[in-house]
Amino acid sequence: MKVAILAGGLGSRLSEETELRPKPMVEIGGRPILWHIMKHYDHYGFDEFVVALGYRGDLIKRWALELSLDGNLHVRVRGGELRSEIGRDAEDWTISLVETGLKTQTGGRVLALAPHLGEGTFMLTWGDGVCDLDLRALLAFHRSHGRLVTMTVTRPPARFGHVKLSGDLVSEFSEKPQSAEGWINGAFFVCEPEVLAYIDGPATHWEREPLERLAADGQLMAYRHEAFWQFMDTLRDKHLLEALWDGGAPPWRVWSEE
């Protein structure tokens, strides 16, 4: 099963980090966040990736090539021949890197990946978020209901303290509970290929017309995830993820460290 990852946006809200590189290449713990996402999928047996490129896609291509050179390299200069002896710890991934345009919107990028996704069910996510979602359970839920799309929904991360007032007196102060915030799109999807017919073209935002039409047609199901989830939209988010990684037990590291 292919995993589609959208990695072509400008990342303007993280401009401190994305002026010279795409957001999926911003590092957490010395590795691009794209690597963390792929490790998550690989842990559950999904190791074929189709990545939608846009802004500074050349850097993602270069990174993928460097992954393939993780070991001894033999070069015959005159003949232009290369032979790589991959190290035992190299990732066993297949990665297709697809140019989808600089200004293409999220739905348009999904549509551009269609020739590379095969004819069956595929997974879809963005290249800037991590969580501890059980992807096998997500897939089992998707297969159980027979609709075209399953969307993971989660609680928004708490950002502010919750203040309870009695007149002008603060009677209670605590971190705002996530359960009070309702559910939001967690951007980890399982899709049937028929969903591509809901995308009109390059200017289509996946989060708007396609999902709205799928919901209206009764073809969009929600999979509730109440554990860890964090997207890297701002510098604050990056610092939070870095602190969790540096703490030694980041919640999204579901794979074993060998």
CATH number for the domain spanning 113: value is 3.90.550.10
Query: Which bin fits 149, alpha (ψ -120 to 50), beta or left (φ > 0)?
Result: beta
pLDDT digits (tens, 9 = 90+) for 195-225: 999 999 999 999 999 999 999 999 999 999 9
Model pLDDT, residue 197? 97
Region 113-121: mean pLDDT is 96
Give domain status of residue 163, yes or no: no
Q: How far apart are CA 153 and CA 183, in angstroms?
A: 6
Residue 256 has pLDDT above 90, yes or no: no
pLDDT at position 66, please? Answer: 87
Structural domain contains residue 174: no
3-state SS, residue 41: helix
The 10s digit of each residue's pLDDT in 49-90 is 999 999 999 999 999 988 877 777 788 888 878 777 776 677
DSSP 246: H
Number of compact structural domains in the chain? 1
User: What is the pLDDT at residue 129?
Assistant: 95
- Residue 153 to residue 81: CA distance in whole angstroms: 49
Residue 94 lies in a domain: yes
Q: How confident is the model at residue 32 (pLDDT cuts 50, 70, 90)?
A: very high
Look up the domain containing 52 and give its range. 2-155+184-246
Per-residue pLDDT band for 12 (boundaries 50, 70, 90) equals: confident
Q: Give the per-residue pLDDT at 97.
A: 97
**pLDDT tens string 144-198:** 999 999 999 998 776 655 666 677 565 666 655 555 557 899 999 999 999 999 9
Residue 250 pLDDT more than 60? yes
| Phi, psi angle pair for 53, to nearest 5° | -100, 155
81: its two tokens: 């021949």
Which pLDDT belongs to residue 35? 97
For the stretch 86-111, pLDDT in tens is 766 778 899 999 999 999 999 999 99
Domain assignment present for residue 232? The answer is yes
Res 248 pLDDT > 90: yes
111 in a structural domain:
yes
Q: Is residue 66 part of a domain?
A: yes
Residue 6 lies in a domain: yes
Euclidean distance between CA atoms 113 and 196, whole angstroms: 10
- Whether residue 33 is contained in a domain is answered as yes
Confidence (pLDDT) at 165: 66
